[in-house]
Structure 1
Amino acid sequence: MKTTLAALKKGQKAIITDLNIDAVPLKLLEMGCLPGNTVELLQVAPMGDPIYINVNESHVAIRLETAREIDVEFIPNSL
């Protein structure tokens, strides 16, 4: 099932399939937020934004606005 990074639930893992290169900051790309890499949602801020993810063994907080620009495919039974 394809969706965006913003739709992940805490503890869920997915594989990045595509991203909007113009909307995703270069720093995220340098940290490994690239197609083919696995991403896991670690935590969500109390108001829902930002979200805290693990991608390429890096822990990163990103805004929901940015997460909506990253397409992912859920890894079955990753909760």
Structure 2
Amino acid sequence: MSSVSLGQLLPGQKAVVRGLSAAALPFRRKLLAMGLTPGCTVEVVRVAPFGDPIELGLRGFSLCLRRAEADGVEVLPCR
């Protein structure tokens, strides 16, 4: 299965973080500090009505990201 960006996932989908793309360079340090590290499992809990922000569940807490930040995270969707 190929990787997609975190921003492409739908509510309820789970994925494993593969890495950060070039689009994430401006937020790289922030994303890593918040726990979005390679190998971490994330779940899209919900998406705001206009698509921004996205609520994620990971490592036992909730995290909200802007769409631009989520698009910089490469993930492998879980089956």
> TM-score of the superposition, structure 2-length normalised?
0.86
Q: Which amino acid aligns with 1:10?
A: P
Q: How far is 1:26 from its partner? A: 2.9
Letter in 1 for 2:9: L
1:33-72 correspondence runs (5 A): 33-72=36-75
Q: CA deviation at 1:38?
A: 0.3
Distance 1:56 1:30 in 2: 13
Identity %: 37
**Unpaired segments ≥5 residues, structure 1:** none
Q: CA RMSD in A?
A: 1.4
Structure 2 spans left out of the alignment, 5+ residues: none
Instruction: Please state which structure has a larger fraction of its residues in helix.
Output: 2
Give the Å deviation of 1:39: 0.6
- The number of aligned residues is 76
